[in-house]
Homo-oligomer: A and B are copies of this chain.
Amino acid sequence: MQKTTPCWGVFELTFTANSGLKNPFDVGYNVNFQAEFAKDNRKLTAFGFHDGQDANGQEVYKIRFMPDSQGEWTFQTSSDIPALDNHKGSFTCTTATPNNHGPARVNGRHFTYADNTPLYPIGTTSYAWVHQPKALRDQTLESLKQTKFKKMRMCVFPKHYDFNHNEPEIYPYAGNLKEGFDYTRPNPAYYNLLEECIQDLATQGIEADLILFHAYDHWGFAKMDADCNHRYLRYVISRLAAYPNIWWSLANEYDLLRHLDTQDWEGFARIIQETDHANHLLSIHNCFGFYNHSRPWITHASIQRQDVYKTTEYTNEWLDQYDKPATLDEIGYEGDINWGWGNLTAQELTRRAWEGYVRGGYPGHGETYLSEDEVLWWSKGGQLKGESHARFSFITQMCEETGPISYLPKRSPWDLPIGGVEGKVYIAYFGFSRPRFRDFYSTHPYFQTSNLPEGNYKVEIIDTWEMTITDCGIMAHDKLRVDLPGRQYMAVRFTKWA
């Protein structure tokens, strides 16, 4: 047993037992098995799970726990299986390892890690990268190193869909496509693989935005009955909650799972909340209409645009409506496939990202370039072929330089969104407009301008496409005429100067 565990590390208890059960996966679900972890006045319950058999044919059971404060933690298991009951012990939670800042937390309309380090979850999507062969998974991880992505949207279950016709090497359940699957018997080998992938992402500082349900299926995983769904959630949350870089995405396009209704989703959310001792972020992502993101269990609005033409330009309205952070998780994909969501230019995707960023949201990247081998980044990972990913990384650089920003409606005239921190910094984004100059001081008979508070400003022109920042020197608030190059995709950053 581990004597020490770093803060936000995984403390794991392993037991062997002969449960005598027909299905040992009942343990942790309808056969009680958990541990109470205590430190000072706090008590947290971590639920156990069956992890298959060991080399000797013994049933293996585990409990995983993520300590979140340093010092001595004690624990005690309880179970109706005698061999799993009443194990006691303690361990010391030590300083976090250097790159582990703990799980993501909501901070107003933004995010931090548990240690209060700011988190800018500008990420990408590769739904089924875990389900691809090792060489491709390795390439995906290598590709991510070229980026500053902080989040990966990815599915627990494999994906069957356009350009997704290959079978995974390992299934999440016992069985096979021909003979069917036993939805009461998860496949521990698959979960080991998934955990490895999640840890690989953690090593690179990337959050795993783990999609628990999705509709793109021909194995039946999308159509399990209520009992199997509940078993599944209990299992996956029990196994994975101790990993710090996990976010739960209850569904991708929940509304395509047409046999499930709001009561089902609310019930699922309850199970996740009851099971997850680490309180990971939890969201639910739409295809058509949004889920009611005001529900208290939803930590942030995970949004797919609802209109073909106007997308992230609504970000500030969503933020105002829900008063939670917004991750813009499908704003379209750079690519050239047949469907409108997947054939944007890099420029258009980057524009959408900036429209969302400057309004206080966190846009997500994706790529769907047609390919003979059907390896499209959006689903399978592999190589990044496009030009927008570098621009998303540039937005992350902006975040790191500027800190979290909010949309500033009072500073924003009708044609120019301005985000920033009132009195400190202002970022105006021109999008598809391409002015050769702009005044930020005057009044006009018909049009509001973006008059800034009195004082001096460091003015920088940001070419969001070329990823350059041009210093224009210090300018006084009443002389803010900025000459611009007459190209699209420009921004101007004003930093208050002494």
Contact = CB atoms under 8 A, between A and B. Distances in A.
Q: How many copies does the complex hold?
A: 2
B310 A307 contact: yes
A339 B486 contact: no
Interface in A334-377: 336-341, 343-345, 348, 370
Nearest to A482: B338
A432 interface: yes
A438 B345 CA distance: 17
A344 B415 contact: no
A435 B338 contact: yes
A451 to B, nearest CB: 15
A436 interface: yes
Interface of A: 215, 256, 287, 307-310, 313, 336-341, 343-345, 348, 370, 414-416, 432-439, 446-447, 486, 488
Given A338-B437, A339-B415, A339-B435, 6 more contacts: A256-B446, A338-B438, A338-B439, A341-B415, A343-B434, A344-B433
**Which secondary structure characterizes the binding site on chain A?**
loop
Contacts of A343: 433-436, 486
A163 to B, nearest CB: 12
Contacts of A370: 436-437
Given A256-B446, A310-B309, A336 B436 contact: yes
A71 to B, nearest CB: 51
A336 B486 contact: yes
Contacts of A340: 414-416, 433
Contacts of A307: 310
Nearest to A310: B310
Contact of A344 (B309, B341, B432, B446): B432
